[in-house]
Amino acid sequence: DTAVSQTPKYLVTQMGNDKSIKCEQNLGHDTMYWYKQDSKKFLKIMFSYNNKELIINETVPNRFSPKSPDKAHLNLHINSLELGDSAVYFCASRPWTSGIRGTQYFGPGTRLLVL
């Protein structure tokens, strides 16, 4: 059983397009994240979403927007894609109950290439 899943696995698109990446977790976790890993393998937090509270990394352009239809899903929508958005995007989830923080698990990643 896949714990954290992402679709699509690969995404190739043209500059200026709008695209979405979907993430689902079946672990019952209440906190989900989006991370970006660039070509130098630097892994950076973009968003965290906990009980409908969104925390945004201030360096993330507002072209990126997370959307959470329910506790098990956190999708990432990207407007007006730029060449520099090419990266691997990882979704992650973690239990966060009554202040007790558990292990964070990553999804398999979505490899985005903007042409």
Task: Check the CA dihedral 1-7-94-67 and report its sign.
Answer: negative
Q: Which amino acid is at 60?
A: V
Is 9 a residue that touches another protein (CB under 8 A)? no
Nearer to another protein, 77 or 106 (CB): 106
Residue 93 bridge partners (DSSP):
32, 105
**Total binding residues for another protein by CB under 8 A?**
27
Q: Does the protein bind another protein through residue 43 (CB under 8 A)?
A: yes
Regarding 31 and contact with another protein (CB under 8 A), the answer is: yes
DSSP one-letter code for 57? -
Task: Kindly tell me which of 77 and 111 has the beta carbon lying closer to another protein.
Answer: 111
Binding string, 67-96, against another protein, x = CB under 8 A? -----------------------x-x-x-x
Q: Could you give the CA distance from residue 79 to residue 84 in angstroms, rounded to a whole number?
A: 13
